[in-house]
Chain A
């Protein structure tokens, strides 16, 4: 059974720092992996999607990597800003049945 884990559950860093959020999954048979952002009381916004054949995707200050063999993905945020404060969730789509399996998220706080 596929399990997705995000560590840490919460992270607080000063503005301007570069930081890494981690996502691990137990079964490498994935279709793709997606990173989402969720602001309090709002829906989820897709940040980056990495296909199973890809190693990384970049969008602005965000870079997501994927290592299927080790069951890991990281979301790198460069030069963090207070506006980056949110909960970040990763989700994998299973190759077998296209089910989405979610991590519980990392709550990120960027202190001004």
Chain B
């Protein structure tokens, strides 16, 4: 099992440039999350998908951030244009669907993250 795969691991761009992150979740995991994490803080949810449907995107800055999960598997997160304050680690996580009910398998599995630096 490859786990949750994210790319790129590191990205340095100048402000106002676009950037995109890609996530491949664990096979069979219907729920996919994108988080942003700043140094010394807990993760901040950007968007949560159940299959291909975005069920919680209330904290996604929609003026510059967009995400998609075509076919309910891989997902991409895009920022356009990037701002200095977007520098952070972008984490993707997946789990079995919470809608299936309480289960020890609802464990979230995280990717290694994509570290973005905006200059």
Chain A residues with CB under 8 Å of chain B are 4, 31-32, 34, 36, 41-46, 49, 51-53, 89, 91, 93, 97-100, 102-105
Contacts and interface: CB of A to CB of B under 8 A. Distances in A.
A66 B107 CA distance: 16
Closest 5 CB pairs of A and B: A102-B42, A43-B110, A44-B110, A98-B98, A43-B112
Interface string B25-56: 00000000100000011111100100000001
Chain B, interface size: which category? 20 to 34
A44 B90 CA distance: 12
Contacts, number: 63
Contact of B102 (A4, A31, A45, A46): A31
A46 B109 contact: yes
Contacts of A46: 107-110
A17 B98 CA distance: 37
Contacts of A97: 56
Contact of A99 (B40, B45, B91, B93): B45
B104 interface: yes
B41 A100 contact: no
Contacts of B117: none
Contacts of B98: 31, 93, 98
Contacts of A36: 108, 110
Given A93-B106, A105-B42, A99 B112 contact: no
